[in-house]
Structure 1
Amino acid sequence: MYKSQRLLRLMMIINAKKSFTIPELAMDLGVSPRTISRDLTDLGELGVPLYSIQGRGGGYRLLNERILPPIAFTESEAIAIFFAVQSLRYFGALPFGDQAESALDKFYHYLPFDVREQINRLQDKVAIWSPNRSMSVSCLTVLLQAIMIKSAVTIDYNSSENGPNTREIQPIGLYSDRGYWYCPAYCFTRQAYRLFRTDRILTASLNDNVSCLEDVDRKSVLNWDVEELDRQEKTLFCVRLTEKGKRKLEGNGRFRDFIESQDEGGGIIRMHIPANKLEFYTDMIWELGQEAKIAEPMEAITYINCKLQGMKKLYP
């Protein structure tokens, strides 16, 4: 076995073990303990985070995180991965902190020169804009970790209604909308499902004392509130769109499936929404200006008129 093959095999073995000794590895690979010692030194110089355990029954362990074995990518795949990571650069915070940037640096360093040249030409040529919102990276990281290992979390949450308060939650997932990160979760404190805006989470820590619920774990960010929405009072929300307004809303997941095209190029929306979310939906239509007109319900029209009166006071 060539040394390069042996080092790759060795990396795969130690990734699969919580701890190991030199004699164990020597037996697995069929080489001498001295060879394994040299190989471990080489892996350490390559960045594999090994540390030794002293005393009787000692050996070696991986420090903190395991190292993944090498993966072969085509040039097109390499460019796709680089662009995908670069698209995150405009977020104010990410659940994995600066690890994406660190991974990208390693990835870029080992690319062939001509592929790096192609990627360099993409710098500042393509961007996916996202509003830069300020929020705690550490809290996002804890929430992501809790989702991965199925753990409850204790948070201090600054509610707009009740001010700061402590909650025990089981996170369902994370999603981003207009630069904000949201965490749908089951709140053990309120004994109900809640949607938490993560920039309002002041602190977050894993809580092993709270048992997670299997029903909650089976939910996703796509269906976590379906049962709750079905129980809520609904109202018909009807909006007429110009051709330009229709194009703008076709990218909005809340409205996209409800847009009916009209012969003149515009469209109409007919959908039933929770009555207590009326202002939320109306505010999104308000952003379209003259490209949309709410036909019903009357409560939404009244709300728009109040906003117009407020604007007139600013611009008499």
Structure 2
Amino acid sequence: MQKSQRLIQLMMRINAKRSFTVRELADEFGLSTRTITRDLQELSELGVPVYSIQGRGGGYKLLQERLLPPISFTENEALAMFFACQSMDYFSSLPFGEGADAALHKFYHYLPADVREQIDRLKSRVMFWSPYRSMSAEVLQTLLQAIMIRSVVTIQYKSSRGVSERNIQPIGLYASSGYWYCPAYCFTREDIRQFRADRILSAELNGTVPCRSDISQKTLLDKPNKDDLEQTTLELEMTKKGVWLLESNPRFGPFIRRNEDGSGALTMEIAVQDLNFYVDMIWQWGDEVKIVGPAEAKAYMHQKIEDMRLLYVR
């Protein structure tokens, strides 16, 4: 086996093992311990973060930031990765630190010159736009780390009621309209709640609070089941434009019934505790969408209209 091939295989092997002894590697590769020690020294000089463990047993370990073995990409795959990274350019903060920028630079740098020229022509012509929202990159990174290592996080959270300290077990992270959201189990409320990352003032891993195994199994695809909560029937009437506005909304679209003239109506069951949330959403569509029921929803809308009227009374 050529030395270059041996070094690549050795790098792949120690990436998989993380901790190992020279004797273990020597036995696996059928080489002397002196040769393996020399190879490890070369890998270290090339940037593989290997360090020795002193004391009884000894051996080697990899630092947390490991190097991955070389991966071959086709031009189309490299372009896809480039634009996947570029899609996050408009987020003010990312949970990956500088990793995305570094990866993007590597892809761009090693692409053939003609492919780089094609990408340059597309710059500022293909965008994945997202509204700019200011938030802490450190908080996002802590939440992401907690998800990866299954850890509870102690946060300082700012809500309309003020700042409170919470212990949460994050389920995931997702972005919408420029904001990052973190659905998590709140040990204070003893329920799954959604936290907006820009409202988290600080976040620290907390190893003293054990994670709940049932929460660890959940993903972002597991929507909270509200069937056991008190339900009410939301009824709406829509103009033709109102149908157009609501049909692309996944909360409303599946329940729309269209009339022959293009207008429509909607009937859907929702949890009572979410009623104000839905009315606040409907508010943005003005007179294109009318609430027919329930009475509580109409009353809340009337109150919003009155509050707005009083705001502009002189």
Q: What TM-score results when the alignment is normalised by the length of structure 2?
A: 0.86
Q: Distance in 1 between matches of 2:191 and 2:200?
A: 18
Structure 1: runs of 5 or more not aligned: none
Partner of 2:201, secondary structure, is: strand
Change (3 A) 1:245 1:50: farther
Q: Distance in 2 between matches of 1:200 and 1:166?
A: 12
Q: Distance in 1 between matches of 2:16 and 2:27?
A: 16
Residue in structure 2 matched with residue 179 of structure 1 by the alignment:
178
Q: Output one character per residue of 1:263-285: Cα deviation in whole Å (capped at 9) or x when no partner.
A: 33344332122222222212222
Residue in structure 1 matched with residue 151 of structure 2 by the alignment:
151
Counterparts of 1:149-298 in structure 2, within 5 Å, are: 149-161=149-161, 163-226=162-225, 229-298=226-295
Number of residues paired by the alignment?
A: 313
Q: Distance in 1 between matches of 2:3 and 2:256?
A: 62
Counterparts of 1:65-84 in structure 2, within 5 Å, are: 65-84=65-84
- Indicate conservation of the 8 Å contact 1:237/1:271, yes or no: yes
Q: Output one character per residue of 1:23-75: Cα deviation in whole Å (capped at 9) or x when no partner.
A: 55454334566655564455445432333456775554322222222222222
Name the amino acid aligned to 1:258: F
The reply on whether 1:130 has 2:130 as its aligned counterpart is yes
- Indicate conservation of the 8 Å contact 1:184/1:224, yes or no: no
Shift of residue 122 of structure 1?
Answer: 2.3
Shift of residue 160 of structure 1?
Answer: 1.9
Q: Distance in 1 between matches of 2:163 and 2:148?
A: 27
Q: Distance in 1 between matches of 2:104 and 2:252?
A: 35
Shift of residue 224 of structure 1?
Answer: 4.6
Q: What TM-score results when the alignment is normalised by the length of structure 1?
A: 0.85
Name the amino acid aligned to 1:260: R
Structure 2: runs of 5 or more not aligned: none
The reply on whether 1:113 has 2:113 as its aligned counterpart is yes
Shift of residue 302 of structure 1?
Answer: 3.7
Q: Output one character per residue of 1:137-188: Cα deviation in whole Å (capped at 9) or x when no partner.
A: 2122111111122222222222322x22222222222222322222222222
Change (3 A) 1:195 1:62: same
Partner of 2:82, secondary structure, is: helix
Counting aligned pairs with the same residue, the percent is 57
- Indicate conservation of the 8 Å contact 1:172/1:224, yes or no: no
